[in-house]
A and B are shown apart, each in its own frame.
Chain A
Amino acid sequence: MNYTWDFSVVLRSSDMLVSGLVATLKLTATTVAIAVPLGFALSIVLLSKYRFPYFIARGFVDFFRTSALLVLIIWFYFAFPILTGIRLSSFQAAALALGLQNAAYLAEVFRAGISSVAVGQWEAARALGLHLGQMFWLVIAPQALRTIVPVLVNVLSEIVKGTALAAGIAYGELAYQASLISSTTYRPLETYTIIAGIYFVVIFTLNQLAAYLERRLSVSGGHA
């Protein structure tokens, strides 16, 4: 095949690429803002001894963890507004779907991280006369973060990947801008290659950071 690559046509639409990247990052940040606090709250309920809240949280986590992200996005965009009378923009629907699903993932991450801290640490904290809040924030959380932080960055890279599905409901992030650019320039090869390259740079950087943090924070490697 003698295909002549020509990136200049696509690069003329660089403003669309930039606005797509900004939209992708905005959706990622909003997702994090929903998923981290909610995931933390859920993990506390999962660790608690109260049966009824536990089953609610378990059901929530199981449902959202096993759902296909695209199905959730579509449900929040097309079904949720009719059911509740609350109209959602494509950005809001995608942010809700991504936020709730990742809250479910993070609930498990936080739960595992908190339970990875040895029981003796709780006992020692209690012996020092700390109350529950102090025990958690001063003793347990700093140690749990060692295992949680690398996974958190990993989840962040998965969120960036997930935002591409918002193109399915026409939210103007990178993948959606790509479809617009390729239909006006008739250069799908160059367009999708550039888009894939931009995603690669963002996601690869995050994954490298996660790997670095994992090495740096691992209990055996770091100065404990």
Chain B
Amino acid sequence: MNNFGWDFSSIWKNAPYLLRGFEGTLILAAVCLVLGTLAGLLLGIALSSNRKVVRLPAQGFIGIFRNTPSMVQLLWIYYALPVLIGMQLTPFIAAVIAFSLYSASYIAGIFKGGIASISKGQYEAARSLALSRWQTLRLVVLPQAVRKMIPPFANQAMEIIKLTTIASLIAYSELVLNTKNVADQEFRPIEAYTTLAIFFSLILIPLAYLTLYLERRFSK
């Protein structure tokens, strides 16, 4: 063990800059969560469809996004997609597209599972009330399915927060990138990166236990 003297003054000095980075993390995570949920809902409904024309494209899309690293998807969207569409994307937009679609491919499974968990009798009852297919989904199926979806959904939200760290690799200003800048500028990598690691744990460990609690509560 070296005689290393910890000195966190460089972190305190740069706290406002680091907090701006955290703000970047939260904004990216929030946007991806909202867009990923919307896209995941559409995909989940498509997956639950009886018609192959609807189901197969959704399965193909999910297959691609689940079976490649999110990091490679991000690099593809940031470096390769602009060649096809003839327009440069900002790091933020590229990260939003990549992480929303990646999360959507998992959230779709949550919606599909939630929809599948509703018993057949519910559909028959809705039908006997003369509800349309869309009304059945919106008024009968989804409200019941949501209960079962909350725990895996909370889990996915944590995964999205972790995902945002990858955006630092295309220079989107979030907590990891700003920490790296502070570490380089102050020559204090240990304090900077240790603070970063602990900071993430302080947010994510309580979230993990909240998920566990929700799981127990809603499984009844």
Instruction: Please report A residues at the B interface, Cβ cutoff 8 Å.
Output: 1, 3, 62-63, 65-72, 74-75, 78-79, 82-85, 157, 160-165, 167-168, 174-175, 178-179, 182, 188-189, 191-193, 195-196, 199-200, 203-204, 207
Contacts and interface: CB of A to CB of B under 8 A. Distances in A.
A11 B204 CA distance: 42
Contacts of A79: 189-190, 192-194
Given A66-B204, A85-B2, A193 B76 contact: yes
B79 A78 contact: no
Q: How large is the interface on B (under 10, 10 to 19, 20 to 34, 35 or more residues)?
A: 35 or more
Interface in B171-207: 176, 180, 183, 189-190, 192-194, 196-197, 200-201, 204-205, 207
A13 to B, nearest CB: 16
B72 A175 contact: yes
Interface residues of A, dominant DSSP: helix
Contacts of A189: 80-81, 83-84
Nearest to B204: A66
A182 B63 CA distance: 25
A159 to B, nearest CB: 11
Contact of B183 (A70, A78, A162): A78
Contacts of A167: 71, 169
Contacts of A182: 79
B166 interface: yes
A196 B80 CA distance: 11
A192 B176 contact: no
Contact of A82 (B4, B63, B75, B161): B4
A164 B2 contact: no
A83 B194 CA distance: 11
Contacts of A75: 193-194, 196-197
